[in-house]
Chain A
């Protein structure tokens, strides 16, 4: 059995990254994710890595761009307003196919917003916060154990597809403490990086990392290649959890912190005689559409619950595609959906069915 430790979510991410072979971290302080930087500042020098506090989020993501271009495993982390500043860099990383891991411990917006938990950056992460036709893998853990496991996985996925992987948490997940059981050996998969800029040592052709192609025909082909990669990821990497969903009438669709609340709703609903299940996307992009096919015949309705005005809701509706009713409950501004409010909606759904 691996080592067990009581850890904050943010610390579990940092520890997982180091275990995954991340040697450099570039970041800028912002609540509620700063413990990641604290942990990295303490630990990275001990593994011959570099922790560098950048002058801005903009500089931090560009340091990531440079370091990752050498084929090194690197990461940055931030929270919503900081992630907005990184969008330019994320678009360049996507356009030049440089792999990197970026953590977003989401806080409520818009603007400076607040520091309480939120899921209002779903559009930004999944629909392209920066310019251009691009995608990034978005992982949505819902426990500290999963923060650890998915962080390791994020590095593998990024390297495999030469893509940015976002770990999308929220203020609750980043700040709460849970027991983490660490593996003795991490399942690290690192493909060769013949594309990396390392200095050609007069032994090979020049390598260039770039996203500019002024010839529109060339740029369209470049985009087609990107889209083909995204198609492959959609096909192979969608992940989800179905919980009590085999024969339930109402399926709650929720991720991250809200999925945990949904599970307590399901237990309470059972006591009242309601058969409720959970569909929890673990990858927000690619969105796990196939999970809906597994439950859609039996389910009478879907209820999307989010800490937003209804962002994932759009993908749920696209997946259900009019075949069953889709209800929504959302809280904003750092407020968290409450079990009894969700239960009340479920009673209403049963009453109207």
Chain B
């Protein structure tokens, strides 16, 4: 009998700890499929960050380092500069990348550091139980914006892909979404392209993935997927923001 679907080789057998309806599992799978298809797992070094995916090394089978909060791009820089022929990626959430790690991501991008960044944007801090992130939408309720995010008090959401795309350094930046099958397929292509750009030594590549956090949004998994489509995409439009190949 022909095998039509199976777990990617680059994922281990460990059961995921993520909440029901969370899209981390999909994002992990897409990255693993790309590592398989490009046959690069053996020379890949992943950098886990701080947040719900702190232990993504329990799921990815490649060599990995757990980085301090926000510092994954700096750790990745050290790895890549030491082993230029390895494939290095970071896997970071929006609190990690867009708040505490702002300096590290901007400078890694500006240097054109030849790494790939997988950026999970779910507009909230998941692991610490639903605080405001830099990406939190205006009027969104979080545990630290109990009356909604108000621009006068909390400022405005940061569109990271747009911000980084004005720099010379990045070779490829795309924002994709994980809210339905069609978009998941597009996200996979974006991730594959990002890793391919790195293999071609073209410089910094990043894929921002619009993701869910049903637990901290207080929504069912289906409602959460709909929220991406109806509320997040208007603030975070999908598409390629930088392509210098």
Instruction: Name which residue of chain A comes closest to B100, CB basis.
Output: A58
Which residue of chain B is the closest to A50 with respect to CB atoms? B81
Residue A112 CB within 8 A of the other chain: no
Query: In the bound complex, what is the Cα–Cα distance between A208 and B59 (angstroms)?
Result: 12
Chain B residue nearest to A89 (CB atoms) is: B68
Q: Which residues of A contact B240 (CB under 8 A)?
A: none
What residues on A are CB-neighbors of B45 within 8 Å?
Answer: 70, 197-199
B25 an interface residue at 8 Å Cβ cutoff? Answer: no
Closest residue of chain B to A66 (Cβ to Cβ) is B78
Q: At the interface, yes or no: A62 with Cβ under 8 Å from chain B?
A: yes
CA–CA, A197 to B75, complex, Å?
Answer: 12
Shortest distance between the CB of B131 and any CB in chain A (Å): 20
Which residues of chain B come closer than 8 Å to A104, judged between CB atoms?
A: none
User: Taking the complex as formed, is B79 at the interface, i.e. its CB lies under 8 A from any CB of chain A?
Assistant: yes
Tell me how many residues of B have a C-beta within 8 Å of chain A.
36
A98 and B104 CA atoms in complex are apart in Å by 21
B55 and A198 contacting across the interface, CB-CB below 8 Å:
no
Interface stretch of the complex, out of A136-144, A150-158, A209-217: A209-217
- Interface residues in B26-75 (C-beta closer than 8 Å to A): 41-45, 47-48, 54-55, 57, 61-68, 71, 74-75
Using a CB–CB distance below 8 Å, which chain A residues touch chain B?
23-24, 26, 50, 52, 54-56, 58-60, 62-70, 72, 74, 88-89, 92, 96, 197-203, 206-212
B residues in contact with A58, CB < 8 Å: 71, 74, 103-104
Within the complex, the shortest CB–CB distance from B83 to chain A, in Å, comes to 5
**Contact check: which of B62, B66, B77, B82 meets A209 at CB < 8 Å?**
B66
Asked if residues A197 and B71 are in contact (CB atoms below 8 Å), the reply is no
Q: Known contacts being A198-B86, A202-B41, A210-B57, is A62 close to B64, with CB within 8 Å?
A: no
Which chain A residue shows the least CB distance to B47?
A66
Contact between B71 and A62, CB atoms less than 8 A apart: yes
CB-based contact B63/A66 at 8 Å: no
Task: Please encode chain B, from 167 to 182, with 1 for each CB lying within 8 Å of some chain A CB and 0 for all others.
Answer: 0000000000000000
Complex interface: chain A residues within 8 A of B63 (CB): 197-200, 206-208
A209 / chain B contacts, CB cutoff of 8 Å: 64-66
Contact B78 A199 (CB under 8 A): no
* Given A66-B47, A96-B66, A208-B64, A59-B74 contact (CB < 8 Å): yes
A199-B45, A210-B57 are contacts. A26–B103 as well, Cβ < 8 Å? no
- Residue among A56, A67, A92 making CB contact with B82, cutoff 8 Å: A67
10 interchain pairs (CB within 8 A)? Answer: A59-B103, A62-B67, A62-B74, A62-B75, A66-B82, A70-B83, A199-B86, A210-B57, A210-B65, A212-B55
Query: Which of B12, B65, B103 meets A56, CB within 8 Å?
Result: B103
